[in-house]
Amino acid sequence: MVRTCVIPSSPACRNRFSKRLSVQINPRAFSALKQKAKTMKRFAILLSAAVLGLSTAAVSAEDYKLGSLEIEHPYARATPPNAPVSGGYMIIRNSGAEADRLISGEASFAERVEIHEMAMDGEVMKMRQLADGLEIPAGGEVVLKPGGYHVMFIGIDSQFKDGEVRNVKLTFEKAGSIDLEFEVKDMKAMQGQMKMDGTGKMDHGKMKQGG
């Protein structure tokens, strides 16, 4: 009669169970599998790090941090040849407990960088310089966009072409100065795209653009 060891409780059964395991699992093969698993894990970690690095680079190319201020996606208006001015736009968020103020700017391609506002005066859209700067409220945000607040580049030395990048330094009253890259964009193309996709967030087709 042949006895079958279902549970290796007795010494004899344990010996037979151990022998079967030693036959089924080759130590060299097991070691090779272990090493392969370690290699695959290391590769996965490196790949994740690379993807994270690329994502971080993509974000940092458009978003900036200065103290409690966050500056999102600065961009500038493309211009026709020989145009004397262009406008710069962005979103500025203040996560701090105190208000700050955008007070000035400078750029090598412009004679002056000023902070301006466009607002309706009756039925006329007028633009004026904010001599005291632009307040960024505590815990709030300010959107600089066509037809509203904007940075004005005056006396530019060359045409702003779609896809270019222009370097600008902005100075805040409390946070200090920061160097930004403004991507030049074709505003008509942007507005056309927004009309096509139905967002309508910045449809200024009927508004006189001075900034």
- Per-residue pLDDT at 150 exceeds 90: yes
3 domain-assigned: no
Whether 109 and 54 share a structural domain: no
**Token pair recorded at residue 180:** 């930004």
The total of structural domains in the chain comes to 2
178 domain-assigned: yes
Whether 45 and 68 share a structural domain: no
52 domain-assigned: yes
User: For residue 78, with 0-12 CB atoms within 10 Å meaning exposed, 13-18 middle and 19 or more buried, which class applies?
Assistant: buried
pLDDT of residue 44: 54
Output the domain CATH number for residue 184: 2.60.40.1890
Provide the domain limits for residue 104: 64-197
Place 119 in a pLDDT band, splitting at 50, 70 and 90. confident
- Which one has a higher pLDDT value, 89 or 16? 89
Whether 122 and 173 share a structural domain: yes
Reported as type and span, the H/E element at residue 1 is: none
C-alpha to C-alpha distance for 66 and 90, rounded to whole angstroms:
14
Q: Among residues 199, 180, 187, which one has the least CA distance to residue 72?
A: 180
pLDDT of residue 30: 60
Whether 83 and 121 share a structural domain: yes
Whether 35 and 83 share a structural domain: no
206 domain-assigned: no
- Per-residue pLDDT at 99 exceeds 70: yes
Whether 101 and 147 share a structural domain: yes
Count CB-CB contacts under 10 A for residue 29: 9
Whether 68 and 27 share a structural domain: no
The mean pLDDT of 126-139, rounded to a whole number, is 96
